[in-house]
Structure 1
């Protein structure tokens, strides 16, 4: 009997042990079972969402060019006479007022002009005295009418020469002595300077010694390749960026396309006028010009920041609810800096996560 009781006791204990182990195994979660992701209220407040839209895709062409002063607001200063530079009053980049002294030159030609002016004044005085004398003689029947006419002609000739020298002095703003002064023809900035102290200047030189430009408005001259000419039109919106101000988006429109191809660059020039009241844009600055134009076909559009690229694939995080966020693979038709056009995988009206999408993507897919 004892043996039978012992066997029964052992069997019951073994059965209870197997039952307990079975319950523990059933209660343990499966290793490959993932916990459902739920977006917390704090994270939700830090995210930004947007609805995908249906719109015509925008194309983008990038042109490269330079900042230039407006041709109508540029004035060059050439030396009217040759001579030695004795003083320079303006430097490259300076702002000058119209009529401000730029540089002074000592010139023998100026001395010659002064001598000619003095001679012209003296000749007028002599001709006036001679005319008056002949006139008195004519009235006294001591001179002929022909002599009176000749005296009048000599006076007129002397006055004409005096007037000519007066205009020369006025044009060149000559004063007494042998110094020739160069003045700013307009108010603006010195954008070019090719003169040095003690330099000997030639009166017939081809290059200007100063170039003064107004910079309240400037031109952006962009190179347009032959392959892009058919897609660039006057009036198209342009977005301009410079190396000096990479975060500044300057807006403008194409005002003119020059119908000439540069033989060196094989490109035409597109002109864009841009306000420059703060004079931040300087001539010869490099500029990148983005031209946008619409396709004839519509696509689903989302902000470019909402697209996640991984393993040569593109994804967006589709928001249905805080506990229902979907990682959706999409096909890309065209990606611009601020907008991406979707060709497949997303419908207009669906909500995607823009800010915070990378953190959520990692939390769901890691």
Structure 2
């Protein structure tokens, strides 16, 4: 029993002491906590000061690595991008002036022909027979007229006989000339030098003035025709520079506007523009599509890549440049004014000098005032 009592007394004392320690620790611990926090803040400030001093003294500190790009001073061109179609003045379908049966074809498709060369012969037998018959009649009429003229000069015979013989002779001459013209029209002749692209009839087929017989082309000189919206009337003039690209054949040609239309199409509010081009190798074909770039702005000035331009919170355009001082490369922020942009390049009207050096790769990870390392 004595032992039990002693144990109970000891437990009671321990419980009482625990309550006192707990009560006294809450206030003490809060005070100690605040003291530690103050010490931490003080140490953090001291640590920051030491780190800043180390950054200035440490030559092995890590710097952002960037590349640089000089500002270019050159002629900047801005283009209008439209589409046009190749056409040729000497691209025709030849039709006969008179109908008839095809008796001979003297050329082949793809053949080069000269101006005046006979391409197709139509049946002219009936006309030639008429010419032969009329020639016989004309010879008799000439003999009769010659005799009547000699008699009339000798004051023999009547004037009426003389005039009738003369009229008959001249009438036959005119008829004969008309038949010879018809014979010539039975030949289909090349009006200019070029290439026979297609022959439509076959030997023995009947043709008429409404049916094409031969397509003849001369592609040494062709032109591009394009519809340009009326908005560009002030800038698109005769002589304006153009770049013509033919994606189907992988060819690009530089030329100038040759002709400007004077009529505004009310359907699409556009006017016609024509660009003549040389085509000695005949690689550019009629109706081929062409992508046109027409210069609407041209000026010498400062040009930089558009990828280097950034916007701040106020919407201002800016770029980063490098300012070298005391052996350090310091990033500088410069506000710029963009006048024109084309093909991933911008024309700067204000904010940069020709001597400035731009931050190229790494421009998105630096900020104004940063010291950077330049990677050449």
TM over 0.5: yes
Going from structure 1 to structure 2, the CA distance change for 1:243 and 1:149 (only over 3 Å counts) comes to: same
> Structure 1 residues 198, 153: closer, same or farther in 2, change over 3 A?
closer
Provide the residue aligned with 1:78 in structure 2: 95
Q: CA RMSD in A?
A: 4.4
**Residues 196, 328 of structure 1: CA spacing in aligned structure 2 closer, same or farther, 3 A cutoff?**
farther
Cα distance change of structure 1 residues 361 and 210 upon mapping to structure 2, 3 Å threshold? farther
Cα displacement string for residues 135-154 of structure 1 (whole angstroms, at most 9, x for unaligned residues): 57668987434323322222
Aligned to 1:242: 246
- Taking structure 1 as the reference length, the TM-score comes to 0.65
**Equivalent runs, 1:83-232 vs 2, <5 Å:** 83-85=100-102, 88=105, 89-91=107-109, 94-105=111-122, 107=123, 110-134=124-148, 143-169=157-183, 171-172=184-185, 180-190=186-196, 193=198, 195-197=200-202, 200-205=205-210, 208-232=212-236
Preserved contact between residue 65 and residue 289 of structure 1 (Cα < 8 Å) = yes
- Structure showing greater radius of gyration is 2
Offset of residue 221 of structure 1: 0.9
Partner residue, 1:61: 80
1:125-168 residue CA offsets vs partner (Å, 9 max, x unmatched): 12123234545766898743432332222222222322333344
Is contact 1:104–1:181 with CA below 8 Å preserved after alignment? yes
Per-residue Cα deviation, 1:209-252 (whole angstroms, up to 9, x for no partner): 3343332222111111233334322222222212135462x222
Q: Distance in 1 between matches of 2:80 and 2:178?
A: 58
Question: Quick one: which of 248, 258, 261 aligns to 1:258?
Answer: 261
Work out the number of aligned pairs and report it. Answer: 305
Distance 1:219 1:111, change over 3 A: same
SS at match of 1:302: strand
SS across alignment from 1:260: coil
1:271 Cα deviation from its structure 2 partner: 1.1
Equivalent position to 1:52, from 58, 72, 78: 72
Deviation, 1:341, is 1.6
In structure 1, the partner of 2:303 is 302
Alpha carbons 1:90, 1:103 under 8 Å: kept? no
Query: What is the TM-score of this pair, normalised by structure 2?
Result: 0.63
Residue 66 of structure 1 deviates from its aligned partner by 1.0
Q: Which runs of 5+ in 1 are unaligned?
A: 1-25, 40-46, 173-179
Separation in structure 2 between the aligned mates of residue 245 and residue 361 of structure 1, nearest angstrom: 40
The answer to whether the Cα contact below 8 Å between 2:201 and 2:213 also exists between their aligned partners in 1 is: no
Give the Cα–Cα distance (whole angstroms) in 1 for the partners of residues 121 and 180 of structure 2.
Answer: 21
Structure 1 residue 204: Cα displacement: 3.0
| SS of aligned partner of 1:37 | strand
Deviation string 1:107-128 (CA, Å, 9 cap, x unpaired) is 4xx2332122112211111212
Cα distance between partner residues in 1 of 2:78 and 2:160? 86
Aligned counterpart, 2:341: 335
| CA deviation profile, 1:53-88 (whole Å, cap 9, x unmatched) | 387x7543222211111x3x4555211222344555
